[in-house]
Amino acid sequence: MAQAVRKLYNLGSSSSPISHLIYNKHKANSQGLYALSPWGKSIRCHFSVGNFQAGSSASSDTSEDGAGLCHQEFQRWQNGGGAFHKSACIDPTALIETGAIVHPKSVVGAYVRIGSGTVIGPSVTVGQLTKIGYNVALSNCSIGDSCVIHNGVCIGQDGFGFLVDEKGNILKKPQLLDARVGNHVEIGANTCIDRGSWRDTVIGDHSKIDNLVQIGHNVVVGKSCMLCGQVGIAGSVTIGDYVTFGGRVAVRDHISIVSKVRLAATSCVTKDIKEPGDYGGFPAVPISEWRRQVASQSRTSKKRVD
């Protein structure tokens, strides 16, 4: 077969259709092999980026805020088929699944897995060994190493901050800072973590967050905390280390909670908690006091029935 091809090549001049076809095919194959090679010349931030593309442009034509990036600036990632911007820094071991997109100036570390439908916004950093599920939206944030982010999580969007002027108009307060997620953090499905306005929103190392949790802007959560499902934390709350919230706990804004506090399910924190221990009720009080309240209410209700 090879001899036949060489004969055909020798029969045509440099301008003949046959030689032109063979030359172009040979050139395309060489470029394809070079594109797949891990020793390409295009290296940014110590990661190989351009050398792991398949050469085709992605279909996306806008950035996260709709600022109209040219679709030709996006390319297809060889490992998984997702799209990435040419200015992104992506480790060659990262997996970006089809339908996922990495926007300009983002950094994706080694052995990261990004699921289909996920958007990594501009200038977002994702640490090594982190696993990101389907349809996740990351913007204005950084994610640490060895994190697990489940399906539908949103991190780094604007917080709920408004003011009313003298004419009764509702005006939006600027939300210009970031959200920072530490190392070994797990975040459950459809949880939302807002970006900061006057300080970064922070989730400490080794903290675990259940599904459907809302964390407002400027909240600081310490290390090794556990937040169960449907917890709601209003803006500018400060939470210490080793704190546990039961399901549907609510915390009002600008509250401080010291380390090693546990809150019973459905509790509502309306003022600072300054001593470690167990709390419960609405408003949250020390657990022994809350139990007495519940027992007293039970006795009262029984007397009314009798």
pTM given for the model: 0.79
Residue 173 DSSP code: P
Contacts of 5 (CB under 8 A, 6+ apart): 22
26 is catalytic: no
Mean pLDDT of 85-101: 97
Do 74 and 57 contact (CB within 8 A), yes or no? yes
Q: pLDDT value at position 227?
A: 98
Strand partners, 114: 96, 132
Residue keyed to tokens 């172009």: 24
User: Is the bond leading into 122 cis (omega within 30 degrees of zero)?
Assistant: no
Crossing angle, helix 17-36 and helix 2-11, to 10 degrees?
A: 130
Q: Which helix (H) or strand (E) holds 294?
A: helix 287-305
Q: Residue 166: how many CB atoms within 10 A of its CB?
A: 5
Which pLDDT score is estimated for 208?
A: 98
Residue from 85, 150, 184, 217 carrying the catalytic annotation: 217
67 pLDDT higher than 70: no
| pLDDT tier at 13, thresholds 50, 70, 90 | very low
Among 105, 48, 59, which Cα is nearest to 82's? 59
CB distance 133 to 118 below 8 Å: yes
State pLDDT tens for residues 211-258: 999 999 999 999 999 999 999 999 999 999 999 999 999 999 999 999
* 259 to 238, 243, 277, 282: CA distances (angstroms): 10, 6, 9, 20
Q: Is the pLDDT score of 190 beyond 70?
A: yes
Residue 265, pLDDT above cutoff 80:
yes
Identify the residue with better confidence: 267 or 301: 267
109 CB contacts (<8 Å, ≥6 apart)? 91, 94, 126, 127, 128, 129, 130, 145
Span 123-135, mean pLDDT? Answer: 98
Helix (H, G, I), strand (E, B) or coil at 32: helix
What residue ranges do the domains of the chain occupy?
A: 1-36, 190-306
Query: Of 95-104, 108-117, 232-241, 296-305, where does mean pLDDT reach its minimum?
Result: 296-305
What CATH topology corresponds to 190-306? UDP N-Acetylglucosamine Acyltransferase; domain 1 (2.160.10)
